[in-house]
């Protein structure tokens, strides 16, 4: 998946974890049960519209709020390939890496894109939108190790000699 393209959904600044999944749905048994309610306080129809391989483009501080790990898991369960935002909240960032949800930071893209358009991501290099290129940084080694292992659960299984 070094290079991929996807249709984009555009969101604003400070998309918090209560918007991504409200507390009232957190006691449902699986993240798949919760996924239809994703983003419901802001855009109740959005979860039903997202298709496998789509990309979210958002403003600053994406994922701020609670430590609920269901937030990145649900975004992944909806089929979102990656989230591109101006910045991410700290706990959401860790949770996403641990669950293998790709996050990309870019300051400019959000302000030029239109919902429904397509972007192309070349990992650790750049994002391409309508002929324009936006450079992106690569992740630190210890995080790439977790991603390369396939997430933290798999990394720990390896540590315990299971895989």
Partner 1 sequence: MGATIIEKIIRNNVGKEVKPGEIVTVNVDRVMIHDIFIPFVASKFEEMGFKKLWDPDKVVLIYDHLVPASQVDDTRHFRVGNEFVKKYGMKNIHRSDGICHQLMTEAGYVKPGNIVFGTDSHTTTYGCVGAFSSGIGYTEMASILGTGTMWVRVPETIKVTINGTLPENVMAKDIILKLIGDLGADGATYKALEFAGDTVENMSVASRMSMSNMAIEAGAKCALFTPDEKTAEYCEMELTDKEKDLIGDSDAVYCREIVYDAKDFVPVMACPSNVDNVKPVSQLVGKEIDQVFIGSCTNGRLEDLMAAAEVLKDKKVAPFVKLIVTPASRKIYKQAMENGTMAILAKAGAIITHPSCGLCCGRTGGILTDGETVVATNNRNFLGRMGTSKVGIYLASPKTAATCAVAGKIVEPK
> Of 34 and 121, which has the nearer Cβ to partner 1?
34
> Of 95 and 106, which has the nearer Cβ to partner 1?
95
- Please, what is the minimum distance in Å from the beta carbon of residue 73 to partner 1? 9
- Please, what is the minimum distance in Å from the beta carbon of residue 10 to partner 1? 18
- Please, what is the minimum distance in Å from the beta carbon of residue 48 to partner 1? 17
What is the full DSSP assignment across the chain? --EEEEEEEE--S--BHHHHS-GGGTTSSSHHHHGGGTTTTT-TTHHHH--TT-EEEE-SSBTBS---THHHHHHHHTT--EEEES-B-HHHHHHHHHTT-EEEE-SSGGGT--TT-EEEEETTTEEEETTEEEE-PPPPHHHHHHHHHTSHHHHHHHHTT--
Applying CB under 8 A, the residues found at the interface with partner 1 are 14, 16, 18-19, 22-24, 26-29, 40-42, 60-61, 64-70, 87, 89-91, 94-95, 98-99, 140, 142, 151-153, 156-157, 159-162
- Please, what is the minimum distance in Å from the beta carbon of residue 110 to partner 1? 14
């Amino acid at each position: 998946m070094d290079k991929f393209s996807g249709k984009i959904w555009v969101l604003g600044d400070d998309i918090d974890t209560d918007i991504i999944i409200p507390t009232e749905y957190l006691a449902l048994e699986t993240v798949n049960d919760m996924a239809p309610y994703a983003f419901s306080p802001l855009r109740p129809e959005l979860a039903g519209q997202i298709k496998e391989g789509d990309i979210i483009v958002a403003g600053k501080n994406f994922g701020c709020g609670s430590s609920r790990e269901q937030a990145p898991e649900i975004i992944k369960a909806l089929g979102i390939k990656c989230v591109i935002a101006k910045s991410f909240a700290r706990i959401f960032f860790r949770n996403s890496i641990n669950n293998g949800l790709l996050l990309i930071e870019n300051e400019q893209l959000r302000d030029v894109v239109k919902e429904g358009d397509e972007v192309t991501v070349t990992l650790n290099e750049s994002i391409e939108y309508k002929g324009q290129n936006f450079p992106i940084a690569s992740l630190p080694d210890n995080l790439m190790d977790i991603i390369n292992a396939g997430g933290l659960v798999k990394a720990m299984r390896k540590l315990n000699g299971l895989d």
